[in-house]
A and B are shown apart, each in its own frame.
Chain A
Amino acid sequence: GQNIDQPTEMTATEGAIVQINCTYQTSGFNGLFWYQQHAGEAPTFLSYNVLDGLEEKGRFSSFLSRSKGYSYLLLKELQMKDSASYLCAVRDGDYQLIWGAGTKLIIKP
């Protein structure tokens, strides 16, 4: 079946680095997306990976290993505003996405 796993919740300290992992088992693979969702708001796009390796975008980086069915989102120099849920989603063929349940990230001062 189709499955995406992420940790339910993580806690990190302001100024530190945190890595949020995502593993997936899907019938096909045509790209992996990371979204950020603040409480009470809509998800917003963070990053896209379709080839193995690291994509860097400012304080955020995303890594993909297709052979391992694994991705991570790396957040550096954490700020209080980074407190949010982070959603991993895989496009397995057509335009639809399969979504993980999300990881709630709590930043402490």
Chain B
Amino acid sequence: IAGITQAPTSQILAAGRRMTLRCTQDMRHNAMYWYRQDLGLGLRLIHYSNTAGTTGKGEVPDGYSVSRANTDDFPLTLASAVPSQTSVYFCASSDTSGGAGDTQYFGPGTRLTVL
């Protein structure tokens, strides 16, 4: 693994189903983030984690949950998917060392369609 990986690459999901999007990084970054990107709206932060064991809510957290059991993994769960959660989901990480060191690096994304 080099950088950040996400799985699955894409998924079609029936409304009401539970879904977990996986994110793993091998850069030993402290902070991790989940975004959704919708046309015309840019990146919106769903949840974040500044360090293993802690999480926080972003701009659009409703309907999503996260956990951060260790440094490398940051899964995002949709408990009961709804069509408005159709989007492209990006996971990102940063090392929180300050300045340009806080640059966020992105995974390849998961394209999710909820029908």
Instruction: Name the residue of chain B whose CB is nearest to the CB of A101.
Output: B42
Whether A99 sits at the interface, judged by CB under 8 Å, is: yes
* Residues in B neighbouring A43, C-beta threshold 8 A: 43, 90, 106
Contact of B96 among A89, A95, A100 (CB under 8 A): A95
Contact B43 A41 (CB under 8 A): no
Contact B107 A31 (CB under 8 A): no
* Residues in B neighbouring A101, C-beta threshold 8 A: 40-42
Residue among A33, A41, A43, A89 with the most chain B CB within 10 A? Answer: A43
Stretch at the interface among A13-21, A44-52, A74-82: A44-52
User: Could you tell me the distance between the alpha carbons of A91 and B58 in the complex, rounded to whole angstroms?
Assistant: 14
- With A31-B99, A99-B43, A101-B42 already in contact, 4 other A-B pairs whose C-beta atoms are closer than 8 Å: A42-B90, A50-B100, A95-B94, A97-B45
| Chain A: interface residue total (CB-CB under 8 A) | 20
A: residues with CB less than 8 A from B are 31, 33, 41-45, 48, 50, 87, 89, 91, 94-97, 99-102
Whether B108 sits at the interface, judged by CB under 8 Å, is: yes
* Residues in B neighbouring A45, C-beta threshold 8 A: 103-105
Report whether over half of chain A's contact residues are helix, strand or loop; otherwise say mixed.
loop
Whether B31 sits at the interface, judged by CB under 8 Å, is: yes
B: residues with CB less than 8 A from A are 31, 33, 40-45, 48, 50, 58, 90, 94, 96, 99-100, 102-109
Q: List 18 A-B contacts (CB under 8 A).
A: A31-B102, A33-B104, A42-B106, A42-B109, A43-B43, A43-B90, A45-B103, A48-B100, A48-B103, A95-B31, A95-B94, A95-B96, A96-B33, A96-B48, A96-B58, A97-B45, A99-B42, A101-B41
Contact B42 A87 (CB under 8 A): yes
* Residues in B neighbouring A89, C-beta threshold 8 A: 43
Contact A95 B90 (CB under 8 A): no
Chain B nearest CB from A24 CB (Å) reads 13
Nearest 9 A/B pairs, CB to CB: A101-B42, A42-B106, A48-B100, A99-B43, A99-B42, A95-B31, A45-B103, A43-B106, A42-B108
Contact B103 A96 (CB under 8 A): no
